[in-house]
Amino acid sequence: MVSRKNSLIQVLLIEDDPMVQHVNKLFIEKIEGFIVSGVAASGVEGKKLIEELEPDLVLLDVYMPGQDGLSLIQELRQDQIDVDIIAVTAANDTSTVKSFMRNGVIDYIVKPFTFERLEKAFLQYKEVQRQLYREASISQDKWDKVMVTTPKKSVEHLPKGLQHQTLNQVINYINELNGAQSAEEIGNNVGLARVTARRYLSYLESVGKVEMELTYGTIGRPIQMYSFKG
């Protein structure tokens, strides 16, 4: 859906509570790369705006007066309207979750949720879209790398000061490298200071996710170069 590499991802917010609308809009627009292109207070209004605005992503409340979120999703799928959906609801029973997953939502966020949980869902979505934008076709190996959105068990317990989301960004970037890069180069491309990037890279090296080798520059000073350990 995201047609240009540097475009903001357009989000339609469907929520019947005006206060929650306002808070969620503020949350979304705090996340780099996203903008709220429209707000709807019901499923009927939401479908109309989806057809008019053609957003990339919908943040959809489940329980609304009139048409609820699940019936809206089912209608969108039946009409073959191509839009990605993150569902937001207070329901946490497995049958409800299964219903939404079977109807193709890309994530399911249970109320009340934190900004960090919403940010994680949106950044994960942005990373998948960024990777898919770059590929005309995709192999199984490439798809598996695209879907590396959470660390494996060996990297679940991070040292103090390291964040899972930043770690995922570093992992995804390194996965795409054709060769090795220095901590400074990786930091510049991911948006981290060299010292911060080196902390993440040193950790990934310690758990066997990246390889580090020393190379020597023109003045003989060794440079640590990092690459994905396939």
**Does any domain span residue 142?**
no
> In sequence order, which residues have a C-beta less than 8 Å from that of residue 47 and are 6 or more positions away?
67, 72, 75, 76, 81
Q: How many domains does the chain divide into?
A: 2
Task: State yes or no: pLDDT of 165 exceeds 60.
Answer: yes
Work out the number of other CB atoms within 10 angstroms of the CB of residue 76.
22
In angstroms, the CA 223 to CA 186 distance is 13
Task: State yes or no: pLDDT of 150 exceeds 50.
Answer: no
Nearest to 52 by CA among 69, 34, 37, 70: 37
- The verdict on 60 and 120 lying in the same domain is yes
Over range 162-174, report the average pLDDT: 83
- The verdict on 116 and 155 lying in the same domain is no
- The verdict on 118 and 219 lying in the same domain is no
Select from 97, 131, 165 the last residue of a domain: 131
Q: What is the CATH number of the domain that holds 202?
A: 1.10.10.10
3 state SS of 135: coil
Task: State yes or no: pLDDT of 133 exceeds 80.
Answer: no
- The verdict on 174 and 113 lying in the same domain is no
- The verdict on 79 and 155 lying in the same domain is no
- The verdict on 127 and 158 lying in the same domain is no
Q: Are 10 and 33 in contact (CB under 8 A)?
A: no
- The verdict on 123 and 175 lying in the same domain is no
- The verdict on 106 and 215 lying in the same domain is no
Task: State yes or no: pLDDT of 122 exceeds 80.
Answer: yes
Select from 102, 131, 160 the last residue of a domain: 131
Q: What is the CATH number of the domain that holds 14?
A: 3.40.50.2300
- The verdict on 169 and 77 lying in the same domain is no
* pLDDT tens-digit map of 38-49: 999 988 999 999
What average pLDDT does the chain have?
81
- The verdict on 114 and 71 lying in the same domain is yes
Q: What is the dihedral of CA 64, 69, 70, 71, to 10 degrees?
A: 80
**Does any domain span residue 48?**
yes
- The model scores a pTM over 0.75: no
Q: Could you list the residue range(s) of the whole structural domain that residue 37 is in? A: 9-131
**Does any domain span residue 145?**
no
DSSP-derived letter for residue 153 is G
In angstroms, the CA 125 to CA 106 distance is 8
* pLDDT tens-digit map of 178-194: 888 999 999 998 888 98
- The verdict on 31 and 104 lying in the same domain is yes
Burial category of 152 from C-beta neighbours within 10 Å (exposed 0-12, middle 13-18, buried 19 and up): exposed
DSSP-derived letter for residue 7 is P
